[in-house]
Chains A and B, each alone.
Chain A
Amino acid sequence: MNAAAPPLPTSLPTPLIVLVGNPNAGKSALFNALTGARQKIGNYPGVTVERKLGRMMLGDGRPAELIDLPGAYSLNPGSLDEAVTRDVILGRQAGQRRPDAIIIVVDAGNLDNHLRFALQLIGLGLPVVVALNMIDLAERDGLELDPQRLAAELGVPVVPTVAVRKRGLDPLLGELAATLSGPMSDKPVVGDQTGALDDGEFRALSVRARDIAKMAILRETPTRQWTRLLDGILLHPLAGVVILLMLLFVMFQAVFAWSQAPMDWIEAGFALVADQVIAVTPDGWLRSLINDGVIAGVGAVVAFLPQILILFLFILLLEASGYMTRAAFVMDRMMMGVGLSGHSFIPLLSSFACAIPGIMATRTIMDQKDRLTTILIAPLMTCSARLPVYTVIIGAFIPARSIGPGIGLQGLVLFGLYIAGIFGAMAAALVIRRRVVKGAQGSFLIEMPRYQWPRLRDIALGLWQRAWLFLRRAGTIIFISTIILWALLSFPKAPENSATGQAEYSLAGRIAAAVEPIVRPIGFTKEIALALIPAMAAREVAVSALATTYAIDDKGDEAATARSLGQRLAGKWSLATALAFLAWFVFAPQCISTIAVTRRETNGWKWPAFMVGYLFAMAYVAAAITYWTAVAFGLG
Chain B
Amino acid sequence: MQLDIAPLRHLLRVESIDWSAIPDGEAQRLRSLGVDEGAVIEPLHRGILFFRDPLAIRVGRMTVALRLKVAAAIRCSATEQ
Residues of A participating in the B interface, judged by any CB pair closer than 8 Å:
73-74, 76, 78, 109-110, 112-113, 116, 141, 143, 199, 202-203, 206, 223-224, 227-228, 231-232, 235-238, 240-241, 325, 328-330, 332-334, 336, 341-342, 366-367, 440, 443-448, 450
* Distance between Cα atoms of A350 and B65 in the complex (Å): 20
Q: Bound state CA distance, A232 and B45, in angstroms?
A: 7
B64 contacts A448, C-beta separation under 8 Å: yes
Please, which residue of chain B has its CB at the minimum distance from the CB of A213? B60
Selected contact of A112 from candidates B34, B48, B51, B66, CB within 8 Å:
B34
How many A-B contacts are there with CB distance less than 8 Å?
Answer: 118
Contacting residues, chain B, for A332 (C-beta < 8 A): 47, 53-54, 65, 67
Collect the chain A residues with CB atoms within 8 Å of residue B45's CB: 231-232, 235-236, 329
Is the Cβ of B56 less than 8 Å from the Cβ of A110?
no
Do A238 and B33 touch across chains, with their CB atoms under 8 A apart? no
Query: Which of B30, B34, B48, B70 touches A241 (beta carbons < 8 Å)?
Result: B48
Q: A333-B47, A448-B63, A448-B64 are in contact. Are A231 and B26 (CB under 8 A)?
A: no
Can you spell out 13 A-B residue pairs with CB atoms less than 8 angstroms apart?
A110-B61, A113-B59, A231-B44, A237-B46, A237-B52, A329-B45, A332-B53, A332-B54, A333-B51, A366-B25, A443-B70, A445-B64, A448-B65
Q: A332-B65, A445-B30, A447-B64 are in contact. Are A231 and B46 (CB under 8 A)?
A: no
Q: Is B58 an interface residue (CB 8 A)?
A: yes
State A450–B46 Cα separation when bound (angstroms): 18
Q: How far is the CA of A247 from the CA of B56 in the complex (A)?
A: 22
| Highest count of chain B CB atoms <10 Å: which of A113, A334, A440 | A113
The listed residue (A74, A334, A342) touching B32 by CB distance below 8 A is: A74
Interface residues of B in 2-46 (CB under 8 A from A): 23, 25-26, 28-34, 36, 44-46
Q: Are B61 and A73 in contact (CB under 8 A)?
A: no
Give A202 to B23 CA distance when docked, in angstroms.
Answer: 18
Do the beta carbons of A78 and B44 come within 8 Å of each other? no
Q: Chain B: which residue is nearest A74 at the CB level?
A: B32
- Among the listed A232, A328, A440, A445, which residue makes an inter-chain contact with B33, where contact means beta carbons less than 8 Å apart? A445
Which residues of chain B are within 8 angstroms of A447 by Cβ–Cβ distance?
A: 33, 62-64
Instruction: Enumerate the 5 nearest inter-chain pairs by beta-carbon distance, A residue then B residue, closest first.
Output: A73-B32, A333-B51, A235-B45, A448-B63, A443-B26
- A119 to B42: give the CA distance in the assembly, Å: 26
Q: Does the CB pair B60–A110 fall under 8 Å? A: yes
User: Considering residues A227, A325, A446, which has the most beta carbons from chain B within 10 angstroms of its beta carbon?
Assistant: A446
CB of B11 to closest CB in A, whole Å: 11
Q: Which of A73, A112, A329 contacts B56 (CB 8 A)?
A: A329
Bound-state Cα–Cα, A78 to B31, Å: 12
Q: How far is the CA of A329 from the CA of B67 in the complex (A)?
A: 10
Neighbour of A333 across the interface among B54, B61, B63, CB < 8 A? B54
Most buried by A among B34, B46, B48: B48
Taking CB atoms, residues of chain B closer than 8 Å to A78 are 25, 28-29, 32
Tell me the bound Cα distance from A73 to B36 in angstroms: 15
Q: Kindly state the separation between the CA atoms of A446 and B57 in the bound complex, as whole angstroms.
A: 11
Of the listed residues A74, A236, A334, A445, the one surrounded by the most CB atoms of chain B closer than 10 A to its CB is: A445
Interface size, chain B (Cβ < 8 Å)? 34
Q: Which residue of B lies closest to A224 (CB)?
A: B61
Point out the residues of chain B lying under 8 angstroms from A227, CB to CB.
Answer: 63
Give bound CA distance, A103 to B23, whole Å. Answer: 32
Q: How far is the CA of A223 from the CA of B63 in the complex (A)?
A: 10
Are A237 and B63 in contact (CB-based, < 8 A)? no
| CB-based contact A231/B63 at 8 Å | yes
Q: A235-B45, A237-B52, A341-B67 are in contact. List 10 more A-B contacts (CB 8 A).
A: A113-B34, A224-B63, A231-B56, A237-B47, A237-B49, A445-B26, A445-B65, A447-B33, A448-B56, A448-B64
Which residues of the partner chain B approach A240 to less than 8 Å between Cβ atoms?
A: 48
B58 touches A444 (CB 8 A): no
For the complex, what is the distance from the CA of A224 to the CA of B59, rounded to whole Å? 12
- A224 surroundings in chain B (CB, below 8 A): 61, 63
Q: Are B48 and A330 in contact (CB under 8 A)?
A: yes
Complex: A206 Cα to B33 Cα, angstroms:
10
In the complex, the answer to whether A141 meets B53 with C-beta atoms within 8 Å is no
Question: In whole angstroms, how far apart are the Cα atoms of A110 and B60 in the complex?
Answer: 8
Instruction: Kindly list chain A residues whose C-beta atoms are within 8 Å of the C-beta of B51.
Output: 333
Which residue in chain A gives the minimum CB-CB distance to B52? A237
Contact B25 A203 (CB under 8 A): no
A336–B28 CA distance with the chains assembled, in angstroms: 22
Interface contact B32-A203, CB-CB below 8 Å: no
Instruction: Give bound CA distance, A329 to B52, whole Å.
Output: 11
Cross-chain contact B67 with A443 (CB below 8 angstroms): yes
Closest-by-CB residue of A relative to B66 is A445
**Interchain nearest-CB distance for B21 vs A (Å):** 12
Nearest-Cβ distance from residue A21 to partner chain B, whole angstroms: 13
- CB-defined contacts of B62 to chain A, threshold 8 Å: 110, 113, 447
Nearest residue in B to A142 (C-beta to C-beta)? B61
A202 closest partner in B (C-beta): B31
Give the nearest-CB partner of A234 in chain B: B45
Alpha-carbon distance A228/B45, docked complex (angstroms): 10
In the bound assembly, the distance between CA atoms of A444 and B56 in angstroms comes to 11
Chain A: CB-nearest residue to B31: A202
- Contact check, A445 vs B47: say whether CB atoms are below 8 A apart: no
**Nearest Cβ distance between residue B4 and chain A, in whole angstroms?**
14
B10: shortest Cβ distance to chain A, in Å? Answer: 14
Contact of B29 among A203, A223, A325, A366 (CB under 8 A): A366
A191 to B77, CA, bound (A): 45
Cβ B65 vs Cβ A228 within 8 A:
no
Contact B56 A113 (CB under 8 A): no
Q: How many angstroms from the CA of A329 to the CA of B30 in the assembled complex?
A: 16
Q: Whole-angstrom distance from the CB of B6 to the nearest CB of chain A?
A: 17
Question: With the chains together, A446 CA to B63 CA distance in Å?
Answer: 9
Nearest opposing residue in chain A for B38, CB measure: A207
Instruction: Give Cα A423 to B23, complex, Å.
Output: 30
